[in-house]
Amino acid sequence: MPDIIRLLPDAVANQIAAGEVIQRPASAVKELMENSIDAGATQVKLIVKDAGKALLQVVDNGMGMSETDARMSFERHATSKIKKADDLYSLQTMGFRGEALASIGSVAQVELKTRLRNLEIGTRLLIEGSEYKSQEPAAIPEGTSISVRNLFFNVPARRNFLKSNAVEIRHIQEEFTRVALSYPEIAFSFHHNDLQVYDLRPGNLRQRIAAVFGTAYNERLVPVEEDTTIMRLEGYVARPEFSKKQRGEQYLFVNNRFIKDNYLHHAITGAFENLITRDVYPGYWLKITIDPSAIDVNIHPTKTEIKWQDDKSVYAIVRAAVKRALGKFSIAPSLDFENERAFDIPLDIMDKRPVQPTIKVDPTYNPFEQEKLQRSTPVQRDWNDRSKIDSWHSMHAKMQRPEYGSEYQQPTELRITSLASEIESLDDERFIQCGSRLGVITAKSALYIVDLPGAHERVLYEQYLKAFSEQVMASQQQLFPPQLEVSPADALLINELMEDLRKLGFDLSPFGNRTFVIQGTPADLTTGEEQKTLFELLGQFRDNEDKLRVSKRENLIRSMARSMSLKSGQTTGSKEIRHLVLQLLECETPRYSVNGKVIFRKIQPEELQRFFEISVEKQI
Ligand code: ADP
Ligand code: MG
């Protein structure tokens, strides 16, 4: 048999590397900007066309490259930053793998213009799909400019895989933000389709955060500072009340590199214990400076993950420092939210022991009891073990289908009506809130438990669905229309959703690049909540876009229902609970939340009675 193994041509090897390093336009932005920083630039300009699909250009005033280096820079494993393996443990630069330019050059049309500081003339080089097209001397400003055109032009599968412009520009903005936050002392600007998105002047971290996220952030920041022999920690956390339902404002930098680290994320959020509910994420912008030999950055092609030599100490220091910072600003005692525990207790009561199968006729049968029939294998659980309950929750969620087909929608009109009329006949005082999100209804023959935020979300969701088919959402015009200032990516998103938002009652009109005037809002939105609700809506929309495979319209309806609905921890009066439950019973799918969790249950007295039958030995 002949020999069949051969070395891959460079162009192919580069494309394979590009698959890991350059996943989308935003990854190229990150690599190019980091190169500019490594070149000692004090000004970095990002120019983007068509969300990076047409053009990405980074211009810097760094040290530039010689003619030969310019050519070399596109070779694989070509780097000026390390010489030997040992250097990996004393890294002072963002780059070191020598892969980025080779990768970008293999999947795009690239123009490099560069001039060394002490030379009069520079060089201009064209490369396309790993092929050198030309190189010639050229008069160019000091520094380097790299233009990347038609990314993935020669890899149609990847090109087709790119998401909408709104999504891609959001990723670009995120990478830009990460780099801009790592180096507040460097000036950065960002243009998209000839609009200036950011113009960030040199300053300190606090000023940079305010410039990127809005001046309002200035007031929200709590400084964190800790100097130990192992590491130095500095930066800010957002005051707990500004925590958000969506991730997105969590920034951790290690030696100026943005890092994703769930373990340390846990340390930071852990420091907020008892200050925030479980369903929100605190904002943070924290920088760790540590001896490079105590970490390993070279474990992931995009260099966003690291390995710690002593992660436990780092964890402890970070957690303690954030906790102390929050305490120092005497935030700790003033707030006392209850932790969210949706349905822990009622589910436990009912599933502690298998239900004896007995045949009996239940005159008060109602469709909400189908739950019992479905669950044939009882799950044994430890009452105090939160993790087991959680995993059971997720298993339970999986058992239910997120979209509700006919099987749950079979209840006869009669049963629903009789339940509704039973509930309608109850006095107000039988509806009470229990904990941060449960409503309890004590009827004569049973208890009903409703997850209030989930129920509200369900009611709104069905209302909005109807609004789309019938176009009847009422909008109230604003007498003094408030303004909404958003990130460039969100501005793009709003423009995309504008028509549909109007159908749901949000009447927005553009006012400059990043600002919208809120002309009208849904009739049931409280005045003063406009901006907050819209921000939440956009955040939710983005979140869903990543997690769910639903149409844009469905996503909008879901996001709107979520952002307009009651929040966990909000107090709800008896009358409102009653009204909500009656509205819920009119829904097509009253038992399930939009995400497929049970939101309404009946508990029979016998089920509660079992509580009192457990003998002492068994309890122990
Ligand atoms: P790495 O950054 O890992 O070294 P890259 O492929 O990103 O690898 O870049 C290769 C080399 O090209 C760098 O080591 C550097 O010497 C040079 N280079 C890239 N971009 C610039 C720039 N903007 N200014 C000066 N030199 C640059
Ligand atoms: Mg690099």
pLDDT the model gives residue 271: 94
pLDDT the model gives residue 492: 82
What is the identity of the amino acid at 248? Answer: G
In tens, the pLDDT along 226-246 reads 999 999 999 999 999 888 888
Any idea which residue has 């380097």 for tokens? 144
Between CA 304 and CA 20 the distance in angstroms is 12
Ligand 1: nearest atom to the Cα of 34 = 2
Between CA 8 and CA 113 the distance in angstroms is 29
DSSP-assigned beta bridge partners for residue 447: 442, 603
Q: Which of 79, 82, 107, 113 to mutate to test the pocket of ligand 1 (most atoms within 8 A of CB)?
A: 79
Q: Could you tell me the two tokens for 47?
A: 């120019």
| Span from the CA of 12 to the centroid of ligand 1 (angstroms) | 21
| Span from the CA of 81 to the centroid of ligand 1 (angstroms) | 8
In tens, the pLDDT along 168-188 reads 998 999 999 999 999 999 999
* Closest to 439 (Cα-Cα) out of 427, 420, 461, 454: 454
Residue 599 near ligand 1, beta carbon < 6 Å: no
Q: Could you tell me the two tokens for 476?
A: 């109230």
Residue 41 near ligand 1, beta carbon < 6 Å: no
Residue 31 near ligand 1, beta carbon < 6 Å: yes
pLDDT the model gives residue 356: 43
| Among the bound ligands, the one closest to the CA of 83 | 1
Between CA 428 and CA 450 the distance in angstroms is 15
- The residues of the chain scoring below 50 in pLDDT are 332-362, 365, 367, 369-413
User: What backbone phi and psi angles, to 5 degrees, belong to 444?
Assistant: -65, -45
Write the residue with the smallest CA distance to atom 17 of ligand 1.
Answer: 73
pLDDT the model gives residue 416: 61
SS3 call for 338: coil
pLDDT the model gives residue 129: 94
| Span from the CA of 28 to the centroid of ligand 2 (angstroms) | 10
Residue 32 near ligand 1, beta carbon < 6 Å: no
pLDDT the model gives residue 360: 46
| Among the bound ligands, the one closest to the CA of 14 | 1
| Span from the CA of 100 to the centroid of ligand 2 (angstroms) | 5
| Span from the CA of 11 to the centroid of ligand 2 (angstroms) | 18
Q: Could you tell me the two tokens for 83?
A: 């010489």
Residue 59 near ligand 1, beta carbon < 6 Å: no
pLDDT the model gives residue 185: 97
| Span from the CA of 202 to the centroid of ligand 2 (angstroms) | 22
Residue 36 near ligand 1, beta carbon < 6 Å: yes
Write the residue with the smallest CA distance to atom 16 of ligand 1.
Answer: 80
